[in-house]
Structure 1
Amino acid sequence: MKLTDLNRHGEIGANSMFVQLGDFNILIDSGLHPKKLGYDALPDFEPIENLHLDLIVLTHCHLDHLGSMPIVTAHNPKTPVITAAPNVTLAPRMLRNSINVMKRQREEHGIAEYPLFLHRDVAQFTKQLTIQRYGRGEIYTKGKDKVEVVLHCSGHVAGAAAVELIHQDRRVVFSGDVLFDAQRTLPGAELPTGPVDTLVLETTRGAQGRELKNSRNEEIERLIDQIAAILERGGSCLIPVFALGRMQELFRIIYEARQSGRLPQSPIHAAGLGMAICEYFDKIRKQTQLVDFDIKMLETMDVRNIDLNMRPGRDLPRKGIYLVSSGMMVEHTPSYKVAASLLPHPNNGLCFVGYCDPDSPGGQLLAARDEATFFFDALDYNAPIRASIDQFDLSGHADRSELLAYAEQSVARAIVLTHGDQNARDWFSQELTARMPESTIVDPEPLTEYHI
């Protein structure tokens, strides 16, 4: 097998892995780097630009895995894009929203190449989506060669899959993004067991484990207590969330906490892509039973459209829970604007429910929460920090100890590290080398071909 990481910047970015397995040219994912702009946000397609792809696999619909798929399918219009059923509904919506964001960024930043693809490219990509059920292998042939593709539920987000390729009795497993814990809307991962020949393993949480911290359920309990405390003191609670996955889970958490009497009835302010995805989750539930989210639940929760005509520093006139994206409080998003109004007032509180990149506004605010002020650069506003700021570990990624245990049971001849910052990969490399001395551990350099 030959393997090339097309993510030009390495670490967590524009995830895309090119695999040559026998006669087959296979691409696993094609994303966009969340912190880069323009062409620099794309994978480097040079190694595949003159090749025909036989198979494309989409592991899930977060944009760091999905975001440049229409560019790939525009050049490979007859190649099937193998994916789980929920993604046929979710992927086109995520990509259309991405086009709108790129158009706005073109105006804001003067990026001439934006948008990187058009709605017609999304339509072409959608035609190529090929549903495959979890756990049911499909055999693809090319001349006399054949490969079996099996998708396995990987938790993380609706439609997320690990990918197993079986070729000439060799098993190659791409973990994708993994969460073994069940979420309120999704079951946990059920990855293929060992032995396997090669394991391509995500390393997102390698730099920090949860070994000495609370379980996911304990973190949810702690979050509910904090939301209740903020509401009881007459404040508003901002929960920055990712539109796909985390918003829907938080709706379930809040709904169940209200049903049990642990949270008072209060308005929930939400809008945008996340609300549209709630509708899609309900559709996916009815069609596949792969998610647990009934849209009727929202009808009982006093969910109101958010009013973004707010001024930095002036407290929110409409009290309640603000469940809005982005999860990292990126500039110009609703969570960024709400935070600028909410932060100077001591009755209010912010509850971050997952990882925030240190370079993002959310990460910067978490780092500065003991300081006197926080500067909202996009609003040219220096806010006094008086609201409470807390973080809760509801990550969509497995703990490093869980991934390490999975790697050990795989008895893999070779383990390829992916989807992690360098310090995270270094931790996995050291631990796996010590625990699996007979295995080859590879931390691939971008655009370097590895024979495995």
Structure 2
Amino acid sequence: MKLTDLNRHGEIGANSMFVQLGSFNILIDSGLHPKKMGYDALPEFEPIENIDLDLIVLTHCHLDHLGSMPIVTAHNPQTPVITAAPNVTLAPRMLRNSINVMKRQREEHGIAEYPLFLHRDVAQFTKQLTVQRFGRGEIYTKGKEQIEVVLHSSGHVAGAAAVELIYQGRRIVFSGDVLFDAQRTLPGASLPMGTVDTLILETTRGAKGREAERSRDSEINHLITQIRTILERGGSCLIPVFALGRMQEMFKIIYDARNAGHLPKTPIHAAGLGMAICEYFDKIRKETRLLDFDINILEKMNVRAIDLNMRPGRDLPRKGIYLVSSGMMVEHTPSYKIAASLLPHSNNGLCFVGYCDPDSPGGQLLEQRDNATFFFDALDYSAPIRASIDQFDLSGHADRRELIEYAEQATARVIILTHGDQIARDWFAQELTSALPDTKVLDPEPLTEYSI
């Protein structure tokens, strides 16, 4: 097997792995780097520029894995894109939204190459989507050679899959993004068990482990307690969320808490792409039973749309829970604008329920929450920090110890590290080398071909 990481910047970025097994040319994912712009946000496609891909696999629909797929399929219009059923519904919607964002960024930042693809490219990509059921292998043939592809549910988000390739008796497993804990909307991961030859393992949470006394359930309980505290003191609670997965889970968490009497029936306000995703989740639930999300709970909770014509510093007149994107409070998003209104008022509170990149506005606010003020650069506004600011660990990624345990039972000949900052990869490399002395642990350099 030959493997090349096309994510030119390494760490967590434009995820894309090119694999050659015998005569088969296979691409696993093709994303966009969330912190880069223009062509710099793309994977480096030069190693596959003159190669016809036989198979493309999409593990899930977060843009760091999906975001440049239409560019790949435009150059490989006959190649099947293997993926789980929910992604056939979700991927086109995520990509169309990405086009709109790129068009706005072209105007704001003068990026001439945006958008990187057009709606016709998304249409072509959609034609090539090929559904595989979890746990059911499919055989693909090229000449006299055969390869079996098996998708396994990896938790994380709707439609997320680990990928197992079986070629000439060798099992090669790409973990994808993994969450073993069950969420309110979908079950936890069910990865392929037993000995494998090569394991490509995500390392997202390698820099810091979860504290022993903290679990997903306990974090949810602490979150509900904090929301109630904010509401009881007459404030509004802002919960920045990722549009795909986290918003839908938070709706269910709040719905269950209200029904159990743990939260008052206060107004809930929502905005952003996540509201459209709620409708898709309901459709997927009806068609596949792979999700547990009934859109009728939004009506039962009287979820209201938000008027985003607000002035920084002026408290919102409509009190309640504000469940809006983006999860990292990125500039120009609803959560960014609402935070600028809520932050100066001590009865309000912000509750972050996922990872915030340190360079994002959300990450910066968490870092500076003990300061007197926070500057909203896009609004040219310096806000006094008076509202409470808390963060709860509802990550969509497995704890590092859980992934080490999975790797130990796999006893792979080779483990390849991916999807993690360098400090996270270094921790995994050290732990895996110690736990599995007969296993070769490789942290691949971007764009370098490795023979495995």
Secondary structure of 1:310 counterpart = coil
Number of the residue aligned with 1:104 = 104
C-alpha separation in 2, matches of 1:325 and 1:55: 34
| Correspondence 1:60-79 to 2 at 5 A | 60-79=60-79
- Is 1:288 the equivalent of 2:288? yes
Shift of 1:199: 0.1
C-alpha separation in 1, matches of 2:378 and 2:138: 49
**What is the root-mean-square deviation in Å for CA atoms of aligned residues?**
0.5
Paired letter, 1:399: D
Paired letter, 1:23: S
Shift of 1:272: 2.4
| Correspondence 1:7-406 to 2 at 5 A | 7-406=7-406
C-alpha separation in 1, matches of 2:272 and 2:64: 20
Shift of 1:213: 4.4
C-alpha separation in 2, matches of 1:211 and 1:18: 36
Residue pair 1:211, 1:401 contacting (<8 A) in 2 also: no
Aligned length: 452
The percent of aligned pairs where both chains have the same amino acid is 85
Number of the residue aligned with 1:422 = 422
C-alpha separation in 2, matches of 1:341 and 1:194: 53
Q: Deviations over 1:249-280 (max 9, x none)?
A: 00000000000010001111112210000000
Paired letter, 2:311: R
Residue pair 1:3, 1:449 contacting (<8 A) in 2 also: yes
Secondary structure of 1:297 counterpart = helix
Segments of 4+ moved more than 3 angstroms: none
Paired letter, 1:281: F
Q: Deviations over 1:214-252 (max 9, x none)?
A: 100000000000000000111000000000000000000
Residue pair 1:38, 1:111 contacting (<8 A) in 2 also: yes
C-alpha separation in 1, matches of 2:357 and 2:381: 22
Q: Deviations over 1:85-105 (max 9, x none)?
A: 000000000000000000000
Secondary structure of 2:146 counterpart = strand
C-alpha separation in 2, matches of 1:47 and 1:426: 26
Paired letter, 2:131: I
C-alpha separation in 1, matches of 2:236 and 2:131: 42
Shift of 1:194: 1.8
Q: TM-score, normalised by structure 1?
A: 1.00
Secondary structure of 2:214 counterpart = coil
Residue pair 1:329, 1:362 contacting (<8 A) in 2 also: yes
C-alpha separation in 2, matches of 1:167 and 1:390: 48
Secondary structure of 2:71 counterpart = helix
C-alpha separation in 1, matches of 2:325 and 2:271: 9
Residue pair 1:285, 1:292 contacting (<8 A) in 2 also: yes
**Unaligned stretches of 5+ residues in structure 2:** none
C-alpha separation in 2, matches of 1:212 and 1:169: 39
Q: Deviations over 1:306-335 (max 9, x none)?
A: 110000000011111000000000001000
Number of the residue aligned with 2:439 = 439
Secondary structure of 1:390 counterpart = strand
C-alpha separation in 1, matches of 2:422 and 2:328: 21
Q: TM-score, normalised by structure 2?
A: 1.00
Paired letter, 1:387: A
